Structure 1
Amino acid sequence: MRIRLVAATAVAAGTLTALTAVPAQAAEYDSALKIRGIQYDAPGRDSNRCSTGNTDEEYLTIKNYSRSTTVNLKGYVVKDAAGNKFTFTASHTLQPGDYVKLRGGNGSDSDANNVVYRDNCNFMWNNDKDTIYVYKPSGSRADVHSYTKSGSDPDGNGYITYHG
């Protein structure tokens, strides 16, 4: 874990009065469940028509990085900066090292195929910039990442990897 040192000085005396260790990005590391990557810009021209659109090509990959703990996704919430959200309402278990792709559009959820559909044909992620939040059922944050198309996606393919 990286430690950031914060020094406070006494204003009048100009002397060092405290030295405190503060974990850098501590909230990111208190959960086994993390964002592995995001296909924020579905290939092709965006179309949110349920029958012929490509919202199912937009997806968020969430992975269980634990070496020993199985995680049930029921009650986990995924949100974006605008407040669009998806709540896992059914039990989907992720074994250590396992992942799930949360896809837009409609389809059949499958633990065997590692996929859950949002059952919503609207795009969730912005193509220029956004922030992705994952919350535990308790309401505490499991992971968060922001992206910009120009700064986070150097090859311009619409996919960004976070925790490899």
Structure 2
Amino acid sequence: MRHTRIATAATLVAAFAGSVLLPAQAQAAPGSVHLYKIYYNSPGPDNRSNASLNAEWVQIRNTTSKAVSLKGWTLTDASRHEYTFGAFTLGKGKSVKVRTGKGKDTAANVYQNRGAYVWNNDKDTATLRKASGTKVDTCSYKNPKVEYKLC
């Protein structure tokens, strides 16, 4: 019985010490700028109307603790359709939708100004790259039965 108490006490001390003395790498990781959602099958008929084109979009989120300049960053699909960000800053904790059709850029929406769909309704891959060409994130989908993908 005494042996069990000693073992139990030693286990509790080890558990307590392990919870207090965390190594530096166990602390919370910083946020990121990443692909969050792709709405690839816009509702309604595929008539290439601007409203239908703009219902197709990719949402990018900034979960870092500071604003990030996306100037020169690119968003591409598997067929190499490419959107390049102009002077645009994504605020900390904010997101932006990159819409396929035409419109006026705002803090929440930017537009590719295309007259045709970019994202395939059955499968595709979105890739986000920094201006330097460094890959930041990718998100793929292969499901024609749903309209969007959470990345």
Aligned Cα root-mean-square deviation (Å): 1.9
Match of 2:129 in 1: 135
Distance in 2, matches of 1:30 and 1:145, equals 20
- How many residues are paired up? 123
For residues 54 and 60 of structure 1, do their structure 2 counterparts lie closer, same or farther at Cα, with a shift above 3 Å needed? Answer: same
Given the alignment, which residue of 115, 120, 130 partners 1:121?
115
Shift of 1:70: 1.2
Match of 1:78 in 2: 75
Shift of 1:31: 7.9
Distance in 2, matches of 1:30 and 1:38, equals 23
* Higher normalized strand content (fraction of residues): 1
Aligned partner letter, 1:45: P
**What TM-score do the two structures reach when normalised by structure 1?**
0.70
Match of 1:103 in 2: 99
Match of 2:43 in 1: 43
Shift of 1:108: 0.7
**What TM-score do the two structures reach when normalised by structure 2?**
0.75
For residues 70 and 106 of structure 1, do their structure 2 counterparts lie closer, same or farther at Cα, with a shift above 3 Å needed? Answer: same
* Higher normalized helix content (fraction of residues): 2
User: Structure 1 vs Structure 2: percent identity of aligned residues?
Assistant: 34
* Deviation readout 1:88-142 (Å, 9 max, x if unpaired): 12x221121100000011111011xx00011112111000000110000110001
Q: Structure 2: which 5+ runs fail to align?
A: 1-28
Distance in 1, matches of 2:70 and 2:116, equals 22
1:1-164 counterparts in 2 under 5 A? 32-50=32-50, 54-66=52-64, 68-89=65-86, 91-111=87-107, 114-149=108-143, 156-162=145-151
Shift of 1:157: 3.9
Aligned partner letter, 1:58: E
